[in-house]
Amino acid sequence: MANYRKLWWTLIAVLAVTFALLGYFGVEVYRKAPPIPDRVVSESGELLMTHDSILDGQTAWQSVGGMQLGSIWGHGAYQAPDWTADWLHRELLAWLELAAQEEFGVPFEQLDGRDQQALQHDLKVAYRTNSYNADADTLVLSERRAQAIAQTAAYYSALFSDEPSLRSTRESYAMKENTLPSDARRDVLTQFFFWTAWAAATERPEGGATYTNNWPHEPLIDNVPTAENIIWSIVSIILLLAGIGFLVWAWSFLRKHDEEEPKAPAKDPLSLVNLTPSQRALGKYLFLVMALFVFQVFIGGFTAHYTVEGQQFYGIDISQWFPYSLVRTWH
């Protein structure tokens, strides 16, 4: 034990430092999380959603698979899109169309370059400006943005239903028909998606970057990597490579080499060990373990097939009983 005392202290020191960093940044993530407003209202005072309805929407999203069906803030599966990025882009396009019709009376695509740039500038200001009032715990949105949200929500309500016009889209996303049957559940689902997009587009009170650090990439509102993103990404890669290089160097030059190579035993040491009754009893579970491995292989192939046929398995519609989000969870 004495020979390994230094190694034990090294291990303890490394664990202490790493868990201290983990704890610190865990607290920071919790402390700096995007706020969920108690009320979201339009400038006219119309109530659009509440804190509870946004959380109900999160529950609705989790009920259809959560991160197994699409993604939120880039952390899930990508058979379906990242709902944050998709919602944000659709809402921005809806806002531009509404602005073009209100201010010029024509679709956005028919405007000349100067007018398009002017509206895109207004779009960036409207979306990146933080209109959340922490004292009142209220988020106030413009009437135009409220309309853009309603249009985007209508698309998502149709997508998660059995709307025939979006059947091919659901198949591409490996979503079963009528993914979320309840109208009320679809309504709160869209509110949760909006809140994730709001956090991704709105700058923190101190400015400089959005609540999600300018993620996702969205050129319409200049959601691009910050200088800190780039610098720390490069630094982390350099530190990783340097750490691996140091370990290789230390293993080659600092470890103590045995003067003599160990001699191979005449018999396999394991053959000299007598199995206990409990160890013998464990052998009967070998077949169960093998069956689970085989099941894992086949369920993996079954899940992968959904990338080819989003709702069927060689022509058989099985998505109603075994949807992609379910079998991916099993896998």
Tens-place pLDDT, residues 263-276: 888 888 877 788 88
Determine the average pLDDT of the residues in 75-93.
93
Paired with 210 in beta bridges are 203
Tokens of 28: 């920071």
If one compares 22 and 269, the residue with the highest pLDDT of the two is 22
Cα R_g (the chain), whole angstroms: 28
Determine the average pLDDT of the residues in 199-227.
93
Distance of CA 99 to the CA centre of its chain: 31
Coil, strand or helix at 26? helix
> Which amino acid, residue 55?
L
Nearest Cα to Cα of residue 191 among 249, 150, 244:
150
pLDDT > 90: percent of the chain: 68
Q: Which of 19-33, 56-70, 200-214, 245-259 bottoms out in mean pLDDT, i.e. has the lowest?
A: 245-259
Please tell me the distance from the alpha carbon of residue 81 to that of residue 36, in angstroms, as a whole number: 23
Nearest Cα to Cα of residue 159 among 90, 67, 254, 75:
90
Judge whether 199 and 83 are in contact, CB under 8 Å. Answer: no
Coil, strand or helix at 20? helix
DSSP summary character for residue 214: T
> Which pLDDT belongs to residue 235?
96
Mean pLDDT of the chain: 91
If one compares 73 and 77, the residue with the highest pLDDT of the two is 73
Please tell me the distance from the alpha carbon of residue 82 to that of residue 64, in angstroms, as a whole number: 15
Q: Are strands 47-50 and 132-133 parallel, antiparallel or unpaired?
A: unpaired
| pLDDT of 1 over the 60 cut | no
Confidence label for 3 from pLDDT (cuts 50, 70 and 90): low
| pLDDT of 257 over the 90 cut | no
Q: Would you call the peptide bond into 216 cis, given omega within 30 degrees of 0 as the criterion?
A: yes
Q: Where are the domains of the chain?
A: 35-230, 280-330
If one compares 47 and 250, the residue with the highest pLDDT of the two is 47
DSSP 172-205: HTTPPTTSS--HHHHHHHHHHHHHHHHHHHSBPT
Confidence label for 76 from pLDDT (cuts 50, 70 and 90): confident
DSSP H helices, the chain, are 5-31, 51-63, 83-103, 113-128, 143-159, 167-172, 183-201, 227-253, 277-282, 286-305, 324-330
Q: Which of 10-19, 235-244, 294-303 bottoms out in mean pLDDT, i.e. has the lowest?
A: 294-303
Judge whether 94 and 152 are in contact, CB under 8 Å. Answer: yes
Nearest Cα to Cα of residue 192 among 89, 62, 81:
62
Please tell me the distance from the alpha carbon of residue 128 to that of residue 222, in angstroms, as a whole number: 9
Judge whether 102 and 144 are in contact, CB under 8 Å. Answer: yes
Residue that is written with structure tokens 């709702």 in the block: 311
If one compares 194 and 310, the residue with the highest pLDDT of the two is 194
pLDDT tens figures, 153-196: 999 999 999 999 999 999 999 899 999 999 999 999 999 999 99
Please tell me the distance from the alpha carbon of residue 330 to that of residue 185, in angstroms, as a whole number: 25
Residue that is written with structure tokens 């944050």 in the block: 84
Of the chain, the end-to-end C-alpha distance in Å amounts to 43
Residue that is written with structure tokens 């099985």 in the block: 318
> Which pLDDT belongs to residue 278?
87
> Which pLDDT belongs to residue 18?
95
pLDDT > 70: percent of the chain: 98
> Which pLDDT belongs to residue 224?
93
pTM: 0.86
| pLDDT of 255 over the 80 cut | no
* Polymer length in residues for the chain: 331
Please tell me the distance from the alpha carbon of residue 44 to that of residue 48, in angstroms, as a whole number: 11
